[in-house]
């Protein structure tokens, strides 16, 4: 974050403000962790702050300190709209394009607040007056920690803040495994544990939450896995029929795509999931090393994300989509096998 923006933020927060803090739609551990961490900090400084989420978030994040205070735009619409339109400052965390908040987009576009963006995704749009955008960062949670140091507030990191930030770093780094995990990330994590982050409990609350039907759905997904050794690539399909058969509930397929990458030599793993309600296939792309799935998702599947993790969609059938996907691989053979 450059000095000009740090100083602008310090000035902005020098008097108590009415603030809305916004995560993206379908918020994940990093989005909820970063917004709640910032909320705890701002509240402690005497601001009137509130986290407003576009929709609900997964059960395995409900234990987070402050989670019960999050306004749900879908369910508490009047209150949420009022908070956004009356806010003097709006922080948008873990996204960089106003379209990422779904039905909340129009409210944000109409808001007269000063916008502050904190985010690590590529190609930010320019709606924010104060920007902290860095694609090299492991997570928005790591950026919130840096932000607090820029505000000279490292000593004000409470155990609530530490638990929130730890959670987002944990989930966005694939448990400290992805390339974006640096020595700085680990130094911050060490400080968070010193400040009260209960690392063992957090791991268990996040990852030991399977239901029997989810494990059965995972079994189905793994059985469907197609391995294209020639391209060090693998993909999984899940039809709506299969989702129904295993009582799919939202979030159940989270992380399934990563199983492909646990195969030896595999560099590129994909999952195609049918969503009959929306009439599309939702696609997740993962890679290891230099193969850029952000580029791949943008070019061929109307999506995007990071170098090693991206999303996309297809309006075609499962059979057509996987055929198309396979037809794209020969042009990337060199990148995938070198």
Residues that bind Mn ion (CB under 5 A): 30, 94, 139-140, 172
Which CB sits closer to Mn ion, 143 or 157? Answer: 143
- Angle, in degrees to the nearest 10, between helices 3-12 and 140-150: 80
In the bound complex, what is the minimum distance in angstroms from residue 41's beta carbon to Mn ion? Answer: 18
In the bound complex, what is the minimum distance in angstroms from residue 57's beta carbon to Mn ion? Answer: 14
Minimal CB distance residue for Mn ion: 30
Gap between the Cα atoms of 176 and 185, Å rounded: 8
Burial bucket for residue 136 (CB in 10 Å: 0-12, 13-18, 19+): exposed
Which CB sits closer to Mn ion, 44 or 311? Answer: 311
In the bound complex, what is the minimum distance in angstroms from residue 316's beta carbon to Mn ion? Answer: 29
Which CB sits closer to Mn ion, 161 or 169? Answer: 169
In the bound complex, what is the minimum distance in angstroms from residue 172's beta carbon to Mn ion? Answer: 5
In the bound complex, what is the minimum distance in angstroms from residue 67's beta carbon to Mn ion? Answer: 17
* Residues 6+ positions from 68 with CB-CB distance below 8 Å: 62
Q: What separation in angstroms does the CA of 258 have from each of 109, 230, 282, 285?
A: 35, 19, 15, 9
Which CB sits closer to Mn ion, 164 or 336? Answer: 164
Q: Are 285 and 297 in contact (CB under 8 A)?
A: yes
Which CB sits closer to Mn ion, 162 or 336? Answer: 162
SS3 per residue for 133-187: ECCCCCCHHHHHHHHHHHCCCHHHCCHHHHHHHHHHHHHHCCCCCCCCCCHHHHH
Q: Are 83 and 52 in contact (CB under 8 A)?
A: yes
In the bound complex, what is the minimum distance in angstroms from residue 268's beta carbon to Mn ion? Answer: 21
Which CB sits closer to Mn ion, 94 or 292? Answer: 94
Which CB sits closer to Mn ion, 98 or 217? Answer: 98
In the bound complex, what is the minimum distance in angstroms from residue 173's beta carbon to Mn ion? Answer: 10
Pairing of strands 304-305, 280-287: unpaired
Q: What angle do CA 315, 309, 256 make, to 5 degrees?
A: 75
Which of 258, 262, 315, 264 shows the shortest CA–CA distance to 284? 258
Supply 62's token pair: 């409900």
Which CB sits closer to Mn ion, 167 or 234? Answer: 167
Which CB sits closer to Mn ion, 96 or 140? Answer: 140
Gap between the Cα atoms of 163 and 196, Å rounded: 7
In the bound complex, what is the minimum distance in angstroms from residue 27's beta carbon to Mn ion? Answer: 10
In the bound complex, what is the minimum distance in angstroms from residue 186's beta carbon to Mn ion? Answer: 18
Report DSSP letters for 256-273, one per residue: GGGGGGGSTT--EEEEEE
| Helix segments in the chain, DSSP class H | 3-12, 29-44, 77-86, 105-110, 140-150, 159-172, 183-194, 199-207, 212-223, 240-245, 293-300, 318-328, 333-337
Beta bridge partners of 226: 235
């Amino acid at each position: 974050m450059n000095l000009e923006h740090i100083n602008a933020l310090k000035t902005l927060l020098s008097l108590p403000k009415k603030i809305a803090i916004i995560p993206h739609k379908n918020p994940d551990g990093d989005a909820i962790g970063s917004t709640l961490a910032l909320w705890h900090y701002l509240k402690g400084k005497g601001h009137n702050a509130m986290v407003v989420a576009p929709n609900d978030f997964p059960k395995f994040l409900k234990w987070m300190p402050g989670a019960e205070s999050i306004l749900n735009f879908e369910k508490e619409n009047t209150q949420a709209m009022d908070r956004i339109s009356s806010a003097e400052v709006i922080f948008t965390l873990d996204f960089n394009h106003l379209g990422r908040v779904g039905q909340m987009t129009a409210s944000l576009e109409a808001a007269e607040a000063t916008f502050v963006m904190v985010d690590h995704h590529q190609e930010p749009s320019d709606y924010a007056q104060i920007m902290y955008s860095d694609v090299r960062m492991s997570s928005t949670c790591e950026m919130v920690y840096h932000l607090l140091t820029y505000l000279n507030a490292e000593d004000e990191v409470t155990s609530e803040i530490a638990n929130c930030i730890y959670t987002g770093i944990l989930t966005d780094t694939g448990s400290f495994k992805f390339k974006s995990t640096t020595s700085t990330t680990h130094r911050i994590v060490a400080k968070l544990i010193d400040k009260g982050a209960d690392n063992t409990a957090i791991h268990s609350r996040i990852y030991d939450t399977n239901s029997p039907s989810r494990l059965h759905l995972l079994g189905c997904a793994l059985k469907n896995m197609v391995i294209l050794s020639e391209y060090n690539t693998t993909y999984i399909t899940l039809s709506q029929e299969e989702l129904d058969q295993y009582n799919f509930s939202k979030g159940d397929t989270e992380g399934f795509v990563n199983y492909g990458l646990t195969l030896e030599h595999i560099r590129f793993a994909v999952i195609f999931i049918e969503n009959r309600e929306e009439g599309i296939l939702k696609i997740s792309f993962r890679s290891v090393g230099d193969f850029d799935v952000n580029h791949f998702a943008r070019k061929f599947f109307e999506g995007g994300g990071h170098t090693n993790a991206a999303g996309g969609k297809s309006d075609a059938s499962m059979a057509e989509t996987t055929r198309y996907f396979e037809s794209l691989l020969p042009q990337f053979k060199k990148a995938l096998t070198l």
